[in-house]
Amino acid sequence: MNRNFPCAYDMELEDVREWAKSRETALPVAVAIWAIADGERTAQRIWERPTPSEWDRITMALDEYLRHGDFARSPDGLYRWGAEQVRLPAPC
């Protein structure tokens, strides 16, 4: 399968894991945030205030990571993002 976002295992997962834990964010969401971050919009800025486009891209990256088996799918389809949650229902 082709990927549109960097593979989670190509990232420094320990750095992302610590970052996610300190922000009470699910690791798959944190990896998706880091995947779309760049020089203009850091992961921290995206985490704090995502644009609608960034929110969509993070949801797409999260879906891709789950479909490829990089992370286990949450039974309720909810993934924590600080005080918020990303809802990603299981595919039909």
Q: Is the separation of the CB atoms in 35 and 64 below 8 Å?
A: no
Average pLDDT of the chain is: 91
**Three-state secondary structure call for residue 92:** coil
Structure confidence at residue 22 (pLDDT): 97
d(CA 69, CA 21): 21
* pTM: predicted TM-score of the whole model, two decimal places: 0.90
2 pLDDT more than 90: no
Torsion sign, CA atoms 50, 56, 59, 60: negative
Domain map (residue ranges) of the chain: 24-87
At residue 78, the pLDDT reads 96
pLDDT range class, residue 13, cuts 50, 70, 90: confident
Residue pLDDT, tens place only, 34-60: 999 999 999 999 999 999 999 999 999
